[in-house]
A and B are shown apart, each in its own frame.
Chain A
Amino acid sequence: MEARVGETFRKRLIVFYIPLFLFLVALLFPFYWMLITSVKPDFELYNARNAPFFVWHPTLSHWVQLFQNTLFTRWAWNTLCIATASTAISLFAGVLAGYALSRLTFPGSTSFGIIIFITYLVPPTLLFIPLASVIAELHLLDSPWALILTYPTFLVPFSAWLLMGYFKTIPRELEECARIDGATRLQAMTKIVLPLGMPGILSAGIFSFTLSWNEFLYALVFISSPQQKTIPVGVVSELMKGDVFYWGALMAGALFGSIPIAFVYSFFVEHYVSGMTGAVKG
């Protein structure tokens, strides 16, 4: 443990350990709560008197209800497909655009760069009403394609931005050597720059994947059939209805809706973090 100059254990406790512990509790308690609630039986759950922090008779009935009585597995599949496809599309567009903007000079490149950056001025919450009619005109309502094609609108700018930063760090000489050897620009791009930029591409990919998984408004407005819903929309719309909100199943839905993304993320933590910091620095 690295000691700071003149720091006693007591000081370390006050200045470091306790605050860190408090942060951890604050940031992670809701997940603990999700887990606890999803295994608490109804009679414990709706008893306002007993201590809520523990479960005395854990039950898996809420989990069972989630997987058997709702279309949760279908939603999970939908969300997975949509997130993967939109990530693929946004990486494709983002890599190409990132490369073009960082390695090539052509008239209008600065303007294009600014345009891509400016799309943040038009967030989904601004666009969703007219965009719904565009989607309707394209006959894509209630189809996963409505989301697969629209998610890249907020994924591509970030991916391009991030990748621009990465590509800038790759020495031009590598490409130039390749082209002297007879490679076309495209080949130089695909065989040299892209492989070297793979960490950046992975970062952009994982960031895009988590953002797609998190999207809600477009999915809420463009998708209506229960079979086509994504996890966030499905859990919120199908488990909060009628007289009683099935809190046990709701929390189970929240938990299982979060697990896949946390799982994927755990493999790519370093990439995610470096992606975030790279974007911010770049």
Chain B
Amino acid sequence: MKASPQSAVTTPRSSGTLTSVEAPARQRSSWLENEAVLGYVLMTPALLLIVVFIAYPFSLGVWLSLTDKLVSRPAHFIGLRNFTHLFESQIFWGTVWNTIFFTFSATVLKAVLGMWLAVLLNRKIHFMRFIRATILLPFIVPTVLSGLAWVWMFDATFSVFNWGLRWLWQTTEWLLNADFGYFRGPRWLGDPAWAMFSIIMVNTWRGIPFFAISFLAGLQTVPTELYDAGDIDGATGWQKFWHITVPLIKPIAVVVIVFSFVVTFADFQVVYVLTRGGPHNSTHLLATFAYQLGMASGNLGEGAAVALFMFPFLALVILWQLLYLRKEDSQ
């Protein structure tokens, strides 16, 4: 690490003015010259934040989940009773399933659609820079605000989608001179299955740009010679995609997918704005359920327990990613 006398002089030395540094200043701060000391000092702000606002609350949360804390009452240690109560609750297991299903579906959709969009964006046409900028809007704009637009678009009485579908329905009736009856349209937020579909759709809508831009970056690292070679061999578009693009994109894809999985698993805003967990708990995710139990019912112990339940899932996923990356690194 020490500077060698033959340090590369090919790079311009921009440090000329520093030769006038006084010796006393250097001695004063000599303890910062120590790599280890400097390292610890520089790490301090980040670590301080993490300890005070993550590590400490986390352990507090663990303790809270082992108590019977109700709002405005003192907490008493009750061991794992919150967890056993939750395990007996159908709502809880429904929520766990919802979270897994929601995260899995949304991630798959985002990955597939994001990849498709990335492939589309990989062409050079006029305005492509502008297009790339605009498609990131769903990701940039605050989720609850764009979520509100979706709530209005899904409204039971005034949904623009239903209006459009009804128009298609009636036009088809008119064209075929038939009568299919009155078309009501899906109850986007009113029917449990449709509601789940709706929240997955909104989360996917929001996440596609992130996947697209990330995959695009990956696509751009693939050397075009490989595609040309593929063309010479007579490969079709699909074959080129599967055998050239996908393997080279894999490292980036893994990082993006895992990151998105973790964030989606802990999602709160989409459900809060669209359904609040309804109809009758069918769209509750662990985050919103924890909020409802803790904040709305005042049952803070149980709420903390539900929130904590996210931890093992996330740990498994992140662990898997760490191991996968280690393996890739070592190859």
Task: Tell me the A residues contacting B by CB distance below 8 Å.
Answer: 1-2, 5, 16, 19-20, 23-24, 26-28, 30-31, 33-34, 37, 45-46, 48, 51-53, 89, 92-94, 96-97, 99-101, 104-107, 109, 112, 114-131, 133-134, 149-150, 152-153, 156, 160, 171, 173-174, 176-188, 191-192, 210, 213-214, 216-217, 221, 231-232, 235-236, 247, 250-251, 253-254, 257-258, 261-262, 265-266, 269, 272-273, 276-277, 280-281
Contact = CB atoms under 8 A, between A and B. Distances in A.
B38 A216 contact: no
B61 interface: yes
Nearest to A210: B140
B320 interface: no
Given A33-B160, A127-B61, A2 B145 contact: no
A169 B51 CA distance: 30
Interface string B139-167: 01111111011101100011010010000
Contacts of A28: 134-135, 137
A101 B39 CA distance: 8
Instruction: Give 6 closest A-B pairs by Cβ, nearest first.
Output: A277-B217, A106-B39, A125-B287, A178-B15, A130-B60, A123-B266
Interface stretch (B89-97, B171-179, B303-311): B303-311
A184 B29 contact: yes
B3 A214 contact: no
If over half of A's interface residues share one DSSP class (helix, strand or loop), that class is named, otherwise mixed; here it is: helix
Main secondary structure of the interface of B (DSSP, over half): helix
Given A31-B137, A216-B269, A235-B145, A156 B46 contact: yes
A34 to B, nearest CB: 5
Given A23-B135, A24-B131, A127-B61, A30 B150 contact: yes
A280 B253 CA distance: 9
Contacts of B268: 124-125, 216-217
B152 A37 contact: yes
Highest count of chain A CB atoms <10 Å: which of B4, B53, B125, B256 = B53
B145 A257 contact: yes
B79 interface: no
B131 to A, nearest CB: 7
B43 interface: yes
B26 interface: yes
15 contacts: A31-B146, A104-B39, A106-B35, A115-B47, A126-B61, A126-B310, A129-B300, A130-B58, A181-B15, A213-B142, A231-B145, A254-B149, A258-B145, A269-B136, A277-B214
Contacts of A123: 262-263, 266, 310, 314
Contacts of A101: 43
A184 B262 CA distance: 41
Interface residues of B, number: 113
Contacts of A126: 58, 61, 266, 287, 307-308, 310-311
B53 A177 contact: no
Contacts of B58: 122, 126-127, 130
A64 to B, nearest CB: 19
Contacts of B52: 134
Contact of B46 (A97, A216, A221): A97
Interface of B: 1, 3-4, 7-9, 11, 13-16, 18-19, 21, 25-26, 29, 32-33, 35-36, 38-40, 42-47, 49-50, 52-54, 56-58, 60-61, 64, 116-117, 120-121, 123-126, 131-138, 140-146, 148-150, 152-153, 157-158, 160, 163, 205, 208-210, 213-214, 216-218, 221, 231, 252, 255-256, 259, 262-263, 266-269, 272-273, 286-287, 290-291, 294-295, 300, 303-304, 307-308, 310-311, 314-315, 318, 322
B146 A254 contact: yes
B149 A33 contact: yes
Contacts of A177: 3, 7, 9, 11, 13, 15
B316 to A, nearest CB: 10
B307 A125 contact: yes
A236 B42 contact: no
A281 B259 CA distance: 13
A253 to B, nearest CB: 7
A158 B8 CA distance: 33
Contacts of B124: 1-2
B7 A180 contact: yes
B33 A185 contact: yes
A273 B132 CA distance: 9
Contact of A254 (B7, B16, B148, B217): B148
